Amino acid sequence: MLKKRDILIDTDPGVDDAIALMLAVRSNFFNIQAITTVAGNTSIENTTRNARYVLDLLDANHIPIYSGSTEPLIGKLHTAEFVHGTYGLGSLQPKNEIQLTHDAVDQMIRIIKAHPHPITVVTLGPLTNLAKAIQQDASILGNIEEVVIMGGAIEEAGNMTRAAEFNIYVDPEAAAIVLKADVRKTLVTLDACNHVELPLSHFDEIKDANLRENAKKMVEDYIKNTLELESESGAKAYDPLTIYYLINPAACTVKEYDVLVETKGEHTRGMTIADRRKVPDKNNVIRVVMHIEADLFKQDLMKYLNQEEIK
């Protein structure tokens, strides 16, 4: 058995975040040190309650959840409830208690600094929490093995505006801080995700009836909403693909680019701009996942969701 990878997941559940948490827990590839929540797809109250709801579903309440930022560093919060539903999990209306701790940033710093060896930080939502942690104590970068970020688009159009992917769009200033940080960074972009769609029928393969029915209630509305908005016939798997990059990097095509985040443009705010010139800048080269094998991901997703978690 390979040694499990120590990770911290920052997330804004969100339907695809929920599937990503299911994959991260059931894959048995990770020691999840904590879940930190951020406002993004929906409010911090909903994202935090939803994270707890999903861990309850997975019988994984040994994993602590710390709630964080309620809004971006600058400006107002833009949510995606038109995609993820009023409460953020499709047609589900979680009734579990909302337990806000408001300490995600301090907990991130504590966990990273206290860890006996470098830890991987995975961000599945806007980068507000991680940006604040870096601003508060940049020494954490010395004990981070890799920051894996779901966000951005290089050759693909945006999905929140014509130019910007949602996570970056919600907090471009935070994204600029993280992408400039002196740490190994991997960006899982819309280029890597847009060709992968999970039809509702795919979730029929989940053997655990409670997990299957909950996942389908989350995904059904998510597909309906994106069908109207993006004429897509299946669920986009942005966040599960980000987790999958860590599970099966061999299924991923990675390029290196110097990437800037636009924070000022009237029409381009939140755009991730890679220097694709013949002689590019190399001030801040990051790893960018440009493609992930869809069939491998789809079969592995169900393989892992159907295995028991080894605590």
Q: Summarize as ranges the residues that interact with ligand RIB (CB under 6 A).
A: 12, 14, 16-17, 40-41, 80, 124-125, 150, 159, 165-167, 238-239
Please, what is the angle between helix 15-26 and helix 294-305, to 10°? 70
- For ligand RIB, the closer CB: 171 or 239: 239
Closest approach, Cβ 48 to Ca ion, in A, equals 14
- For ligand RIB, the closer CB: 139 or 233: 233
Q: Which two tokens stand for residue 76?
A: 């107002």
Closest approach, Cβ 236 to Ca ion, in A, equals 11
DSSP letter string over 251-265?
Answer: GEEEEEEEEEE-SS-
- Binding partner of residue 72 among ligand RIB, Ca ion, none, CB cut-off 5 to 8 Å per kind: none
Closest approach, Cβ 151 to ligand RIB, in A, equals 7
CB 123 within 8 A of CB 14: no
Amino acid at 94: P
3-state helix, strand, coil in the chain (%, to 5): 40, 20, 40
- For ligand RIB, the closer CB: 37 or 41: 41
- For ligand RIB, the closer CB: 54 or 80: 80
Closest approach, Cβ 279 to Ca ion, in A, equals 35
- Binding partner of residue 165 among ligand RIB, Ca ion, none, CB cut-off 5 to 8 Å per kind: ligand RIB
CA–CA separation, 14 and 84 (whole Å): 6
CA–CA separation, 149 and 160 (whole Å): 17
For tokens 């601003």, name the residue: 135
- Binding partner of residue 85 among ligand RIB, Ca ion, none, CB cut-off 5 to 8 Å per kind: none
Residue nearest to ligand RIB (CB): 166
Three-state secondary structure call for residue 274 = strand
Closest approach, Cβ 309 to ligand RIB, in A, equals 23
- For Ca ion, the closer CB: 82 or 311: 82
CA–CA separation, 86 and 223 (whole Å): 15
- For ligand RIB, the closer CB: 89 or 183: 89
Chain positions contacting Ca ion, by CB under 5 A: 12, 14, 17, 124-125, 239
- CA distances (Å), 199 to each of 219, 222, 227, 305, in order? 9, 11, 11, 16
- For Ca ion, the closer CB: 16 or 220: 16
3-state secondary structure 210-245: HHHHHHHHHHHHHHHHHHHHHCCCCEECHHHHHHHH
- Binding partner of residue 191 among Ca ion, ligand RIB, none, CB cut-off 5 to 8 Å per kind: none
Closest approach, Cβ 311 to ligand RIB, in A, equals 27
- Binding partner of residue 18 among ligand RIB, Ca ion, none, CB cut-off 5 to 8 Å per kind: none
Closest approach, Cβ 242 to ligand RIB, in A, equals 8
Closest approach, Cβ 132 to ligand RIB, in A, equals 18
- For ligand RIB, the closer CB: 87 or 279: 87
- As beta bridge partners, residue 67 has 37
| 90 φψ region: left (φ > 0), alpha (ψ -120 to 50), beta (else) | left
* Residue 197: count of CB within 10 angstroms of its CB: 17
